[in-house]
Structure 1
Amino acid sequence: QMLAKAQPHARAGLRFEQADLAAVEGAWDLVFSHAAIQWVDDHAALIPRLWQLVAPGGQMAIQQPANHDHLSHVFARELAAEEPFRTALNGWVRIPPVMPMDRYAQMLFDLGAEDMTVLEKIYPHVLENADAIAEWTSGTLLVPYFERLGDLRDNFMVAYRARLREAFPGSPVFYPFRRMLFTAHRPH
């Protein structure tokens, strides 16, 4: 959807493409990622790979969710490690690849980046109740679990909602959606 909305802005020297990060080549004036790299493992290898794509004088700009310590995420990992879900998932639990902010800053510095900004921002969301948190996460965090759970998907959601309801019994519920943002320029 984001690419479709961006296409009207395409012109000579500016294009928008969807590609596999592992297959992208070349040198780009801007390497930009919005809510994508959190699905790619091993950020210690990924960030240098992306930096290689930034042309001299270019910029990298990345925004990614950093909510992995929120109870909504903790509960998903806990449930995945419990039966019957553990067996259905063959022991798989989504371990978030997002590193601490200072690791990204150090990595960019070590790569020779200039004019760096690395920050975390909380986007405040006021949701109706705990079930709204479950709905919110079902379109992102829980998708890889759903893909693997098969017939146990509904049971997983029942157990997940129960934990959220116990942790967030009130209404409305404040959901602090954390995002990490970092930008850096590559010197000429």
Structure 2
Amino acid sequence: VRVLREQALPAERRVPQTLNFALLGNPGTGKTTVAKLLGRLLKELGVRSSDAFIETTGEKLARMGADKVAQEIDKAVGGVFFIDEAYALEPKQNSDGRSVAMQLLDVAEARRTELTIILAGYKDDIEKKLFDFNDGFGRRFNQQISFEDYTETELAEIFQQMCTKMKWPPGSEDV
């Protein structure tokens, strides 16, 4: 029924079949915050059944082994499985990381209607260490969002808006 409903929508309003994302950028640019917001939005839209948000890192997954990774993924079913610094799986150089990377590709395909996987990390590292490792990453994580660094002026504007919103003493924004 949901598929039929989506097909009736104009193309620009349809939910993509694969809802896995790669959030690309430097630390502190908001990738984790956006991942959490995406999870909530997908739940509110009824695309995901749960607001589960399981957060881990590529390094932790590479050390866990396949069985424990499967358990972590199961906790996220219905919601989001977020992998920060996903490039740390190092599948080209690390056999454990390779095993986990292949497992993620399988899960991203087999459970695409019940789980969203979000990779995050430096753009170059994600591309070179994951997307170049296996073309399947590009196909399964085809929703890519690049996060740019803020300039000093932009950071000052954000701080000023925070001060105003928080009703901090006049002049705080001039600090």
Shorter-chain TM-score range: 0.3 to 0.5
Greater fraction of residues in helix: 2
TM-score (norm. length: structure 1): 0.32
Greater fraction of residues in strand: 1
